[in-house]
Amino acid sequence: MTDSYVGGKLKLKGANDGKVKKKKKKRKLDEEAANAEISTKDTEEIVADTSIKHERKKTKAEKAFQKVQEKREGERILKKAQTSHKERVEQFNEHLDELIEHFDIPKVSWTK
């Protein structure tokens, strides 16, 4: 009995055969022209161009929001500055006393 066996893997129609085609990079003449223009500009013009900053103008709502945020931050700072460290520790201890026992850390005994 003769077996007609063809070696190799099965090929599916429309498959890429595992090959990835790389795209060729195109050299742009525009980049070369831009580089030539920059080199011909005077240093004074370059400095003048970089000194101009384009800042986005804020709307009335944004300005009002920022003003309120600054006001609240100032109030928060004053409130923290009024209480001393000792008072903050006492407040924290009171808060821990009010918590349910479920959150207590179990004590470890060395004698048991």
pLDDT in tens, 74-84: 999 998 888 88
Is the per-residue pLDDT at 2 higher than 80? no
pTM above 0.75, yes or no: no
3-state secondary structure of 56: coil
Question: By 3-state DSSP, what share of the chain in percent is helix, strand and coil, each rounded to 5?
Answer: 55, 0, 45
Check residue 30 and give its pLDDT. Answer: 64
* Predicted pLDDT at 63: 95
- 3-state secondary structure at position 36: helix
CA–CA separation, 87 and 90 (whole Å):
5
If pLDDT is split at 50, 70 and 90, which confidence band does 66 have? very high
The residue to which tokens 């599916």 are assigned: 12
Q: How many CA atoms lie within 13 A of 45 on its CB side?
A: 6
pLDDT of residue 99: 79
